[in-house]
Amino acid sequence: MKFEKITLEKKYHDAVEHWRRHYLKDYDSLIENWDRYFPQDEAFCLCAKLELGTPGTVSVGEHAGEKKRVKPDELTEEEAKHLLAIIRAQASTEFGSIQQHAGTLERAQDDEDRFWVLRVMAEELRHGYQMFHLLLSQDWSRASGGVKGETMVEEILSMQTGSHVLDAFNLEYDSFVDNIVFAALIDRVGKYQLTMQKVCAYKPMADSMPPMLREEAFHLAAGVIPMRRWARRAAEGDPLITMSMIQKSVNKWFPRGLEMFGDERGGDSNLRMGFKDLKNREAQDQYIEEVRRMVRDINSRFVRARFPEYLPEKAEQVLVELERSRGSHRGVAFDELLRLPDRRFFRRKGEPAFAMVGVDGETFSDAREYLRHLAKHLPESYMASRDLRNYGDVLKRIVSGELSVAEGVMKMPKLKRVGGTCPCSRSVRWVMEEPSSGNSDAAAPR
């Protein structure tokens, strides 16, 4: 595969670098140790990468068979607005993920896990950089209502946890367990989104997907491989990691991952316009089955580690029987295994929004009882979060009849512009300032 590397105009490249110094402080250490931890992989490049030789013909939707568009003005106004929203949301998720990982990065139990997550963060930075290239290399003013690319970049760089486009990127991590489970579950959604967008009728977007997908594969590994290792350690009796810890983090992130696909009843516009090749429910169904296979693989490794004397066939029989009976085998109970929550569990957007459904599909009619159920199955520190408090308040108002479900959905966090704690909140114009003191950090924003 061949691709073209592109560097943004200096003021934008410098803005991303400045942002990186705040939220990816161990970047230099990652680069210095790259060959130690990733000796077989190409050195990291903060640049945009466009795959060369991708198909030039639209393959899905009402423009199937036509030549792919290469400028926003070649799209209809509706199509350009829709695609612009996708690009801006994608950019937001990349920078949002870095901010989340940064909060608990130092809590990694070993250096390998830490450097794997650092690589994920660096590649997310590159993916955000890639989206900036799409925003800045063409004129989107017709679709943006006159908002310039510079302003869109500033807006994205000003976002913090709590103000990103998608809910999954507005939740704080509770521990390093979240770093790992997030990579296994949420980055897996990213893989689906990028795969669907490989067919995009806008060629620069389609050309961006293959390089991002190759990097996304490592992000999944940075989640799944540590989860496998932790399952083995839990089976061996390590007091510092338990399957229950992993399960509660899965319960926290799986509902947010499902919501990243959009409402289950939607996706027609993406298909019609040729931006994706699956509707929301179709993609979500495939994702659920893939996560289910991942969970079963981890359970299989847990059983094999618990009974190292068993042949693989015997360990598989034990797992099948535990799944069937929900009982126990030689001290190993079904409840010790990971399981995927019901797809309606703890949802606040989409078709099952605010349906009080438990992890196993049981239903509740009392809001307080449901919140107690959540308290049992979610990380304890997350239960004390503002996010959970907001959810609980809205749920109670829906159950009491004060709000409709649709109104409740609208009460959940929405995109807003928030100033940062330093001039990064207006970083593009700020980086352009010529400091009088010779120290760029002394320049004041305008």
Q: Is the pTM of this model over 0.95?
A: no
- What does the mean pLDDT of the chain come to? 91
- Residue 420 CA to its chain's centroid (Å): 22
How far is residue 271's CA from residue 277's CA, in Å, rounded to a whole number? 6
440 pLDDT more than 60: no
Mean pLDDT score, 281-301: 97
The confidence band for 1, taking pLDDT boundaries of 50, 70 and 90, is confident
pLDDT at position 416: 38
pLDDT tens per residue, range 340-390: 999 999 999 999 999 999 999 999 999 999 999 999 999 999 998 888 999
Mean pLDDT score, 245-260: 96
Question: Which tokens sit at 17?
Answer: 């670098």
Mean pLDDT score, 259-287: 96
291 pLDDT more than 60: yes
Residue 86, CA distances (Å) to 81, 205, 275, 333 in order: 9, 10, 9, 44
For CA atoms 253, 384, 241, 25, the dihedral sign is positive
Of residues 170 and 263, the one with the higher pLDDT is: 263
Cβ neighbours of residue 56 closer than 8 Å, sequence gap 6 or more: 67, 68, 203
Mean pLDDT score, 125-139: 97
The confidence band for 140, taking pLDDT boundaries of 50, 70 and 90, is very high
295 pLDDT more than 50: yes
DSSP-derived letter for residue 336 is G
pLDDT at position 162: 78
pLDDT at position 404: 97
How far is residue 180's CA from residue 221's CA, in Å, rounded to a whole number? 9
Q: What is the dihedral of CA 231, 178, 387, 121, to 10 degrees?
A: -160
pLDDT at position 180: 96
Mean pLDDT score, 127-156: 95
413 pLDDT more than 90: no
174 pLDDT more than 50: yes
pLDDT tens per residue, range 55-109: 999 999 999 999 999 999 999 999 999 999 999 999 999 999 999 999 999 999 8
Q: Determine whether domain 3-298 maps to CATH 1.10.8.60.
A: no
Half-sphere exposure in the Cβ direction for 141 (13 Å, CA): 4
pLDDT at position 341: 98
